[in-house]
């Protein structure tokens, strides 16, 4: 059970869908039943997908939460951070003058 600002939600694991994805059912206050699917992609897979779409990876940050605040860390640590955030842009950024 998760409680935030007086509202409660429950996450029920449905299970692994494929070796790299899983589903959970979320329900609670002011929320209809939602099935949430997450998929794991390795850093090389994400970087390749960015490059293939014409984007240049600028940073990879580890994400966690402390006291309800989202914190981003560099370098990311997949054993410590529950999510990695990729920052990308189209082409090269202009040089500073």
What pLDDT score does 71 carry? 93
- Segment holding 10, helix H or strand E: strand 7-18
Structural domain boundaries, residue 24 = 1-40
Taking the model in full, what pTM does it have?
0.64
Q: Is residue 11 part of a domain?
A: yes
Q: Is residue 50 part of a domain?
A: no
Q: Is residue 48 part of a domain?
A: no
For residues 8 and 34, membership in a common domain is answered with yes
**Residue 46 has what DSSP assignment?**
H
Q: What does each of the 97 residues of the chain score in pLDDT, given as a tens digit?
A: 777 778 888 888 888 888 888 899 999 887 788 998 888 898 999 999 999 999 999 999 999 988 878 999 999 998 899 889 999 999 765 565 5
Q: Is residue 70 part of a domain?
A: yes
For residues 2 and 29, membership in a common domain is answered with yes
């Amino acid at each position: 059970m998760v409680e935030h600002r007086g509202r409660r939600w429950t996450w029920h694991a449905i299970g692994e869908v494929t070796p790299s994805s899983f589903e959970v059912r979320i329900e609670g206050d002011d929320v209809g039943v939602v099935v949430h699917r997450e998929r794991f992609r390795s850093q090389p897979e994400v970087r390749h997908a960015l490059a293939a779409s014409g984007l240049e990876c600028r940073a990879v940050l580890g994400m966690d939460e402390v006291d309800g605040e989202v914190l981003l860390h560099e370098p990311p640590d997949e054993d410590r951070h529950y999510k990695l955030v990729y920052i990308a842009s189209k082409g090269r950024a202009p040089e500073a003058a």
